[in-house]
Amino acid sequence: MRLDVECDGGSRGNPGIAGCGSSVLDGDQEVAARWEFIAKATNNVAEYQGLINALELAIEVAKMRGAAPSELEIQVRMDSKLVVEQMSGRWKIKHPDMKPLAARVKELEATLAAVTYNWVPRAQNKRADELANRAMDDKVGGRWFDDALSFQPAADSASAGAGAGAESAEVATAQATPAVPAQTAPAAPKGTAPAPAQEAASSPEWHPGGKPTRLWVLRHGQTEMSVQRQFSGLSDPELTAHGQEQAKRAAAYVAGQLAGSSGSAGAVAIYSSPLKRTRQTAEAVAEALANAGGAGGSSDAGNATGTAGGAADKSRVHTTEALIEMNFGDWEGRTFAEVMDEFPLEHDACLWDSSAAPSGGESPDDVLARVRPFFRDVARNHPGEDVVLVSHVTPIKSILRHALCASGAIYRTLHLDLAGLSVIEIFGADGAVRGGEVGVQNKDSAVVRRVNDTHFLDTETVR
């Protein structure tokens, strides 16, 4: 199998805010694209990162088509003479910033059948350049896949609840979905300009509500109960060592994005479920924000007003019951298989009806009812600000359900990974959206830009 990739990177300041873009092509048809924002980097670092992203994306496309990396040949096209010559072995790699990036490229090369590097003039690398500039302009990254690709996750990647919104157990047929920012229309065919509507949707300026409140909604990292595929609602396990690593990686990524978009991460408010696994994840975010430019802001319940911090103060992460996981009642601590065996009729009802609840527990609709007021309080009290929310599967699905005006089917059809990141923008607490197609009223004008993004976790860390 052969795929072509085009990649580019740029820096405004060199070093300064940076971005990279990568496009995967099958012949002349673009089948996937990725763009990444980097808070501060040189042009050469951004170029290398674009190459790494391109190779990883091509491998992912190959897997979607049922091909192993060892069967994949990649033709790389770049307008960076430096990267092409260094990766072709004709020039030495001397700069310390380049060496680990080049080593990562070589690791990826070792898994592939062949990689060939070709230098092209800048004029022939416009798509990758466009993606890199999009990342720098929007100060956020994203990915896009052609609809014809069939995403087939590994069997052991199931870690997000389907059905009644389980924390860890899930229906065996549930599929993970590639993270695609909602603001991004499918990429235009190579060499063609996107339609005006697509251009408008790619930037928040199209919306009349002014600068939005941006929610960075993060699921907690791995616990022993998630490893065992147990329903974990109000039980309070801590993160495993692996879960702590997931939280650390996610936190570093979020902090880097916020430092780049606002110039300072210090005034960012952080809200968390009161359970240990979410608090530990939120504390990792607070620490990363402190390292990036000041501690996360804090606030009191129901009156969300972020305040800038100094040194990291993990105790200032605000906890709220609105973000606590669904109460699974008699299902708590049981595996999916055990619930199917012990509560077959009840489970079937909860799977298909979001108003149904496990014995002694809550329904997903109950969770939605407590999430909605919190959603509006955050928008009202943090106008135009970035806010980090750390929560669990069901509350996050409820937030997305509300933002999308979706039906209760979202609880069984949407997959959320451990440490997965979703991004939502709210344009005022009483914006232009009125009602939903399924009768779910949403008086908040919301745009979902990303769902379940885990690109900052390597393959093993996602598990």
Give the residue ranges of the annotated binding site for substrate: 277
Centroid of chain to Cα 56:
16
Give the tokens for residue 404: 């999308």
Q: Which of 30, 167, 220, 415 is catalytic?
A: 220
Phi-psi region of 335 (alpha: psi -120 to 50; beta: other; left: phi over 0): beta
By CB atoms closer than 10 A (0-12, 13-18, 19+), residue 194 is middle
Residue 4 to residues 31, 78, 129, Cα–Cα distance (Å): 10, 11, 16
Q: Which of 149, 266, 273, 130 is nearest to 198 (CA)?
A: 130
Q: At what angle do helices 276-293 and 241-262 cross, to 10 degrees?
A: 40
Outline where DSSP puts E strands in 208-351.
213-219, 269-272, 318-319
Distance of alpha carbon 205 from alpha carbon 211, whole angstroms: 8
Q: Which of 157, 185, 183, 182 is nearest to 170 (CA)?
A: 157
Q: Which of 325, 346, 385, 425 is catalytic?
A: 325
Residue 24 to residues 29, 79, 121, 192, Cα–Cα distance (Å): 8, 16, 18, 16
Residue 38 to residues 19, 138, 145, 256, 402, Cα–Cα distance (Å): 5, 11, 22, 7, 30
Distance of alpha carbon 209 from alpha carbon 171, whole angstroms: 39
Query: Which three-class secondary structure state does DSSP give residue 193?
Result: coil
Binding-site sequence positions: 277
Distance of alpha carbon 22 from alpha carbon 143, whole angstroms: 9
Residues comprising the chain, all counted: 463
Asked if 130 is an active-site residue, the reply is no
Asked if 325 is an active-site residue, the reply is yes
Known catalytic residues are: 220, 325
